[in-house]
Structure 1
Amino acid sequence: MRRLTLAAIGLAVLVVIGSVIILAFSRIADFELSQGERQTVSFSQGGNALEGTLITASEDGPVVLLVHGDGPQDRWSGSGYLPLVNTLLDEGISVFSWDKPGVGASTGNWLHQSMQDRADETVAALKALRRMPGYEHRRIGLLGFSQAGWVLPRVPARTDDAAFLVLMGGAIDWQDQGRYYATMRLTREGRTPEEIAAEISRQAAASRAWFESDATYQEYFSAERAAGRSAEQVLSEDRFGFARLNHNEDARSDIAGLPLPVLVLSGAEDLNADPQETVSTYRSIREGGHPLSRFRVVPDATHSLFSARWYNYQRPDQWPLTAQARFVLSGRNAYQGDVLETVTDWIVAASQDMP
């Protein structure tokens, strides 16, 4: 009994020591907001009252506005942005982000927005910062994720307040992105090429029938249920309307008119948006444009530019507990390779006056 007790105590001590070592080398602190000066910034657009937080890292350094991807995102995306935010702040880059309509302290419904509405909202956010003392002449840029690929390229045509754009994991064409996403999902489910082709064809026909017509939501819902799809597989009425609003989005014409330096990063293992299409499209349209622009596919990186070895899932709710725990312990180290260094160095360079 005494030996068992001593063994148990020894094991407990080893567990404690191991936990201390893990915590000592972890990046948990990356999920705590920096101690930089914080201000609540409120503005309105499209009948919505919107609220966000501005964290000032320096008096005259660059500023980035975070532009969300899809989903009901609050200003820090449920703390998921914080490792990136703290990295930016450490480099003297101030950060502003706001709750999407209907999320957190913002009113409205983000699913009622077109990509044009989102661009107008981003312009309103820029103007709100410009009205703040000390921000009248700061170099302010936009850093957007995923769905922001249809938002960021629209903004410079509507305001001179943006100085640069950073796009992480963006897409080009809404329908192409949908096909790519479905193909990756079906492939990971083990479907045959023939099954995948048939399902992609079915989805394309359904999209034309429901999103390019005057069909009602009830007609859509009844038809989908009659076809054997469960209630969980059928879009909600809000999501149906959102898809109809944005079904024909294609960023190419807006990309062609960009006068600003642009950094585009796509993960080579992206399961949501085709990285080769995104980077090659920007290169073909913008190559020879602004000398600071860069377009890069990052090896072994996910849609969010995390390490594909540990975090390659299509949706955050698919992450197993092991991936969630690893992310909390890894913080900014969850990003693949030199992604964060690339982003911060480029922003600093792009915010300086051109010779």
Structure 2
Amino acid sequence: MPRWRSMSCRMGWASAFSFAGSSRMNRSSSVMRISLVLPNDICRALFAENSLQTSLGNMTRILRLLQTLRALWAVGVAVVLLVAAPAAAAAALPGPRPSPPIAVPPDLKATEVSFPGSEGLTMHGTVLSPATAGPGRRPGLVLVTGAGGGSPRTRHLTEAVEFARRGMSVLIYDKRSVGYSLFHRSYSQLADDALGGLAALRSQPGVDGAKVGLWGLSEGGWVVPIAASRSKDVAFVVLVGANSLSPLRQATWAVQAGLLRAGVRGSLVDRAELNMFRMIDDLGMFPEAHYDPRPTIAAVRQPVLAIWGTHDLLTPPLESPPGFVAALEKGGNRRYTIRFFGNAEHAAFKTSDGGVTPLAELAPGYADLVGSWVADATAGGAPVARTSGPVPVQDALTIPVHRSAWWESAAVQLVASALFLVAFGSYPVVALVRRVRGRSRAPVTKVARLLSAGGLVVVPGMFVYVMYLLMSGGEMAFPGPVVTGRPLVWLALQGLAVACVVATVRTALSWRRARFPIPRGESVRLWLLIAGGTVLIPWGLYWGLLLP
């Protein structure tokens, strides 16, 4: 071997991607440059023959391979930048600015206010009041919104207008985005924000500071009782679509109920959806997952008005009200009113499709009830232990969502996923390397290719599809076409999982019955593949891929 070739083969990888896209070098310089960056074994394979034409042909294949790798690397960098850049930009931006002034009907007036929230964060809001002052000072109501960071105050402008027309001053404010995200939030912090708004409203001209209460919707139904239990300045509590269950149990039920309404049955609902929520919780990506609101509800001493729409699809309307009643009774507070509104959805707006789509109008009688109840409660005449309205509809009962055991924990799931990547991914990688070296050989069995390809599709496919359902579930899931209670996508994943199990058995038998000696490297490759297929069986049972 010439001296320059020997020297180049002793060098490791240098800058493989630095030359892969170059198209202006001639063939002789290509031989020299490629040899400087390729590892020893590939160099020997390239120059084992004396034919320059054969060597150049091999190097052409190497160039194409490296060009492909360079393109994939560029795509990967682009994806990372697309994901990271918005997050970095958001982190660099200052806190949310106040919303522009709100246009209100002529019978109302709007006053812009600012107040300190938790940890001194400046909050911005608008107070809506009757334009004409009535006799005496008015009661006040602070609206605490549901989930979502940075929700604008206009989110509840409809409710604020209707409540103000019932003789109240109503504060709506922009929800914090600082310290609040999909993966992190603090109900305690949100409660302090609400109390900051309460103090601001109590100080407004024309407002009776002793008659100001809190209204909480959905997530606000967890927040408002915390605030009420902390401060005697809260005169009363109004809750809409509130939960007496933990956030994790409520969210699991909401997605499950959405899948059931879409006609989905079987392991996707019973196994995959539930276990995915548990894994998310185990990863610490579900904030306040196991918060138990019942002790806090029991500590509330103020009069409580709790409202649910009969077609609430985000809060279990059959189970949450009894939980509130039991907790309030346990704490000795019997000044509560439970009211159900027919043909109303989660936020007590009218609905014509079973709660999936809210209409523009509040449920008939909702605003009137709030106005009259607040007047009675602030006058010392809050009703005692009253429940009324039609029976709500709930497609399925909630189930407890326990923490993951060690053998099903997120760490074990990550280890299993890494094993699948190595076991199923190494098979085609080795085949590609052999092809590049010109040492391709017939597989022990072609079924092994099915096992490798199927495993590389089933594992990420299951995670992506179930996560999509979790993100799109709620009022109505969109699982795609459903056949015999199972979405076509889920059926395809299940069929591929079964094929992988069969291929695992066939590959193991073919290896055992091979009539020709199998090199050690090939044995390791097959052992990894069969190990991955074997682990896929309990993994598939756990996630429901191998169950009806």
Aligned-partner SS, 1:340: helix
Opposite residue 199 of structure 1, the aligned amino acid is A
Structure 2 residues not aligned, in runs of 5+:
1-102, 383-548
1:76 aligns with 2:143: no
1:121 aligns with 2:193: yes
Residue by residue over 1:22-54, the C-alpha shift from the partner in whole angstroms, topping out at 9 and shown as x without a partner, is xxxxxxxxx944543322111122242111011
Indicate conservation of the 8 Å contact 1:169/1:304, yes or no: yes
CA distance in 2, matches of 1:127, 1:139: 12
Structure 1 residues not aligned, in runs of 5+:
1-30, 103-107, 212-239, 314-318, 328-333
Instruction: Decide which of 168, 173, 177 is 1:98's aligned counterpart.
Output: 173
1:206 aligns with 2:279: yes
Aligned to 1:278: 320
1:134: Cα distance to partner? 4.5
Residue by residue over 1:5-27, the C-alpha shift from the partner in whole angstroms, topping out at 9 and shown as x without a partner, is xxxxxxxxxxxxxxxxxxxxxxx
CA distance in 2, matches of 1:53, 1:259: 28
Instruction: Decide which of 289, 294, 297 is 2:337's aligned counterpart.
Output: 294
Aligned-partner SS, 1:276: coil
Aligned to 1:224: none
Alpha-carbon spacing, 1:34–1:146, altered in 2? closer, same or farther (3 Å): farther
CA distance in 2, matches of 1:267, 1:56: 27
1:131: Cα distance to partner? 3.6
Opposite residue 346 of structure 1, the aligned amino acid is W
Aligned to 2:180: 110
1:180: Cα distance to partner? 1.2
Q: RCO higher in 1 or 2 (8 Å CA, sep ≥ 6)?
A: 1
CA distance in 1, matches of 2:333, 2:122: 36
Aligned to 2:141: 64
Normalised TM-score (structure 2): 0.46
Matches within 5 A, 1:29-40: 32-40=104-112
CA distance in 1, matches of 2:230, 2:240: 22
Alpha-carbon spacing, 1:193–1:295, altered in 2? closer, same or farther (3 Å): farther
Alpha-carbon spacing, 1:55–1:339, altered in 2? closer, same or farther (3 Å): closer
Indicate conservation of the 8 Å contact 2:297/2:327, yes or no: yes
CA distance in 2, matches of 1:205, 1:156: 31
Matches within 5 A, 1:128-143: 128-135=200-207, 137-143=209-215
1:272: Cα distance to partner? 0.6
1:300: Cα distance to partner? 2.7
1:166: Cα distance to partner? 0.5
1:310: Cα distance to partner? 4.4
1:52 aligns with 2:94: no
Aligned-partner SS, 2:239: strand
Aligned-partner SS, 2:125: strand
Q: Which has the larger Rg?
A: 2
1:70: Cα distance to partner? 0.8
Opposite residue 347 of structure 2, the aligned amino acid is S
Alpha-carbon spacing, 1:85–1:128, altered in 2? closer, same or farther (3 Å): closer
Alpha-carbon spacing, 1:290–1:208, altered in 2? closer, same or farther (3 Å): closer
1:346: Cα distance to partner? 1.0
Alpha-carbon spacing, 1:34–1:96, altered in 2? closer, same or farther (3 Å): farther
1:174: Cα distance to partner? 0.8
CA distance in 2, matches of 1:338, 1:127: 29
Opposite residue 73 of structure 1, the aligned amino acid is S
Indicate conservation of the 8 Å contact 1:267/1:275, yes or no: yes
Normalised TM-score (structure 1): 0.69
Aligned to 2:250: 177
1:149: Cα distance to partner? 1.3
1:277: Cα distance to partner? 1.6
CA distance in 2, matches of 1:270, 1:346: 22
Residue by residue over 1:197-252, the C-alpha shift from the partner in whole angstroms, topping out at 9 and shown as x without a partner, is 112332243134212xxxxxxxxxxxxxxxxxxxxxxxxxxxx4xx33x1222210
Aligned-partner SS, 2:126: strand
- Give aligned-pair identity as a percent: 25
Opposite residue 375 of structure 2, the aligned amino acid is V
Indicate conservation of the 8 Å contact 1:100/1:110, yes or no: no
Aligned-partner SS, 1:70: coil
1:164 aligns with 2:242: no
Aligned-partner SS, 2:283: helix
Indicate conservation of the 8 Å contact 1:267/1:299, yes or no: yes
Residue by residue over 1:56-91, the C-alpha shift from the partner in whole angstroms, topping out at 9 and shown as x without a partner, is 2245121100001012411121xxx23322221221
Opposite residue 186 of structure 1, the aligned amino acid is L
Opposite residue 116 of structure 2, the aligned amino acid is S
Indicate conservation of the 8 Å contact 2:310/2:342, yes or no: yes
Indicate conservation of the 8 Å contact 2:213/2:236, yes or no: yes
Aligned to 2:303: 261
Indicate conservation of the 8 Å contact 2:128/2:160, yes or no: no
Aligned-partner SS, 2:122: strand
Instruction: Decide which of 262, 287, 297 is 1:189's aligned counterpart.
Output: 262
Residue by residue over 1:82-108, the C-alpha shift from the partner in whole angstroms, topping out at 9 and shown as x without a partner, is 332222122111101110124xxxxx3
Opposite residue 48 of structure 1, the aligned amino acid is L
CA distance in 2, matches of 1:307, 1:88: 17
CA distance in 1, matches of 2:157, 2:200: 23
Aligned-partner SS, 1:275: coil
Indicate conservation of the 8 Å contact 1:145/1:169, yes or no: yes
Residue by residue over 1:126-166, the C-alpha shift from the partner in whole angstroms, topping out at 9 and shown as x without a partner, is 12233444546340011111101110111123222110000
1:258: Cα distance to partner? 0.8
Residue by residue over 1:273-332, the C-alpha shift from the partner in whole angstroms, topping out at 9 and shown as x without a partner, is 10112111111222484454111333332111122324722xxxxx5xxx7xx62xxxxx
1:345 aligns with 2:423: no
